[in-house]
Structure formats: C-alpha cells, structure tokens
A and B are shown apart, each in its own frame.
Chain A
Amino acid sequence: MTKYLVFKNQPDSGHVNEPGSRQEMASEIANVVSQDRMPANYYIAFPIEHPSTTLESLKGLAMYAVEITDETAEIWGNEIQEMVRKAHMVDDAVSEASGGIYQAMMDYNNSIQASNNFQGLTELSIKALDRMFEYFELESSYEVPTKVEEIFSVEYFEDHHV
C-alpha cells in the first residue's frame, strides 16, 4: 500500500501527473471525492516519502491523503473510472433536463399571467423544480464519491495543512 498526498497544483508549478501513473490515479481520486470535476492536473499527487511531498507540505497545500494498493488500483481501472464517467453523464443529463423544463415552466407561467381569463390557473412552482433537480444532483453525485472515499481511505485536510 502506498499513501499519496494530493495538492492543488499551482498553475506555474511545471508539475503534471505522469499519465497512467499511480500519482495520476491519486489525483483523479481526489477529483472524484471533491465532486468538483476539475480538469486533469488540477491536482498533483506525490507518494508520501517523495521529497516533493515534504516541500509541498511545508507550504501547507496538501488537500487529501489517498491510499492505493494493487487491488484497489485494479478496482479503479476496471470499475470506478467507468462508473464516474457514467455518474457525470447523469449529472449532465440532469443539467440539460432542468434547463429545458425550467424554460418551459417559465413560459407556461408567463402565458397564464399575460392572459385575461386564466390567471386563476395554478402556476408551476419554480422553487419546487429547483429543489427536485438539486436533490437529483445530490443523489447522482453522492454514492460514487462516498464509496471511493472508503475504498481509498481518503483523508481530507480541511485547512490544507499536514
């Protein structure tokens, strides 16, 4: 088992995660757990014994610690990456669906308000729609990160200090 510290990569750092490496995996795991869908190399990871880890830690930038074993690395490659991709597709579908319905609801409510004789019809609740899609987003994005956090024993450093 190797433990990695994950840092927010500074734009001018010149560091990138080596493609296919465990460091890249640790950074992607942090990205999944953060639920922010940041671009590649937004995070950078170093094994805990790596000299860069000490240096970066001194700057107080560590955000996550991630543990990876051969077994969990295999689960990542075989299952989780695909699941993350599909969960993101659900997020995207929720966003697109909510945009379309929101606009249609507004149009319906406006057509009632603008009418002379149908103002008594009940308007559709935009607030209820917002709540519904917020709930969907939470549901679709909760399960995978929670499980990933558990599998890779992810630790958060809220104040970014280790």
Chain B
Amino acid sequence: MSKYLVIPRRADSPMTHAQGSTEESVCEIAKNLLHYPGPSDYLMAIPADTKVATFALVKDDALCSIEVTKKTLDTWRKDVTNIRDAIDSFQSARAHAENLLDQALGDLDEAYENSTGFQGYTPSDDISVYGALEEMGANDLDYTFQRSLQEMYKFQVLRRQTA
C-alpha cells in the first residue's frame, strides 16, 4: 500500500509524471474524486512519507491523499473507465429519453388543453421518466460509484479548492 499526497502543479514547474507511472494514475484518480476542473497533469502526486509531502502539508498545498496498491491501480486502469463510460452513456440515454418524452408529451398536453371534448386530463401528469428512474436508483449511480472509489483509494480531502 502506498500513500500519496496530491498537490497542484505550479505552472512554471518542468516536472511531469512519466506516462504509465503510479503517480500519473494517482493524479487521474485525484482529478476524478476531487472533480478537479483542469487536466490531471495540472496535479502532482508525492509519496506521503517524503519531506516534500510534509512541506506541502505545512504549506497547506495538499489537496487530498490517496492510497493505492497494485491491485487497485489495475482496477483503475481496467474497470473504472468502463464503468464510468457506462454511467455517462446511461445519463445521456436518460437525458435523451426525458427530452423526447417531454417534447411529445408537451404537444399532447397542448392538444388536450385546446380541445373541447378532452379537457381535464394532462398526460404528462402520469408519464414522466424523472420520478420513475429516480425510484430505480438511477440518480444514485454517480454517487454510489464515487463513494466506492473513495473507499477503495482511502481518499481524503485535505484542502478545499478555491473557485
């Protein structure tokens, strides 16, 4: 098990992590769990048991700490991307579905409203994917997945990012 602190990389710093290195993966994990807005190479990972890490803590530079093993790094590289992509695809499909139904139901609602014989019924009151998908736990996919990643990587926020 190796513990890392993640700090913002100074704009003028020439140091970057080697491709495929543990540090590079740690920065990617940190970006994901922190919802860091920039690319992951704007971050640096420092082994927690080094003087640089202590100094970063003293200076309040460290954004978070993350612990990794070979197995959890493998998981990051193999599984997380697939699941993340699947969640993103699901959320897009859901947005598309809501859009389609909203539009078609809006037209139908309007037709009912403008009719003389069909007033008093609003189809969209009974047909909505929002509530139904929420009941199925679809709203929690992101949250649940993030939580399991936070536990797996023993993620701890050390400093809130400033806007």
Which residues of A come within 8 Å of B, CB atoms?
A: 75, 79-80, 82-83, 86-87, 89-90, 92-94, 96-98, 100-101, 103-105, 107-108, 110-112, 114-118, 120-122, 124-125, 128-129, 132, 136, 139-140, 143-144, 147, 151
Contact = CB atoms under 8 A, between A and B. Distances in A.
Contacts of A132: 129, 132-133, 136
Contact of A124 (B92, B105, B118, B136): B136
A116 B75 CA distance: 7
Contacts of A100: 93, 96-97
B108 A90 contact: yes
B123 A140 contact: yes
A115 B83 CA distance: 8
B52 interface: no
B136 A89 contact: no
B117 A147 contact: yes
B97 A108 contact: no
Interface in B55-94: 71-72, 74-75, 78-79, 82-83, 85-87, 89-90, 92-94
Nearest to A91: B104
Given A89-B104, A97-B97, A151-B117, A104 B137 contact: no
Tell me what chain A mostly uses at the interface: helix, strand, loop, or mixed.
helix
Interface residues on B, range: 35 or more
Contacts of B104: 86, 89-90, 92-93
B90 A82 contact: no
B79 A116 contact: yes
A139 B136 contact: no
A79 B118 contact: yes
A127 B136 CA distance: 10
A121 to B, nearest CB: 6
The 4 A-B pairs at the shortest CB distance, nearest first, are namely A97-B97, A104-B93, A115-B79, A93-B104
A34 B36 CA distance: 56
Interface string B113-153: 00111100101001101001101111001001100100010
A107 B136 contact: no
Contacts of A125: 136
A116 B103 CA distance: 41
Given A111-B83, A111-B86, A86 B137 contact: no
Residue with the greatest number of chain B CB neighbours at <10 A, chosen from A86, A115, A139: A86
25 contacts: A75-B117, A79-B117, A80-B117, A83-B108, A90-B108, A90-B127, A100-B93, A100-B96, A100-B97, A101-B129, A104-B89, A104-B94, A108-B90, A111-B83, A115-B75, A115-B78, A115-B79, A117-B72, A118-B83, A118-B148, A124-B136, A128-B135, A129-B136, A143-B123, A144-B118
Given A101-B94, A116-B71, A118-B79, 8 more contacts: A80-B117, A86-B104, A97-B101, A101-B93, A108-B86, A110-B86, A111-B86, A129-B136
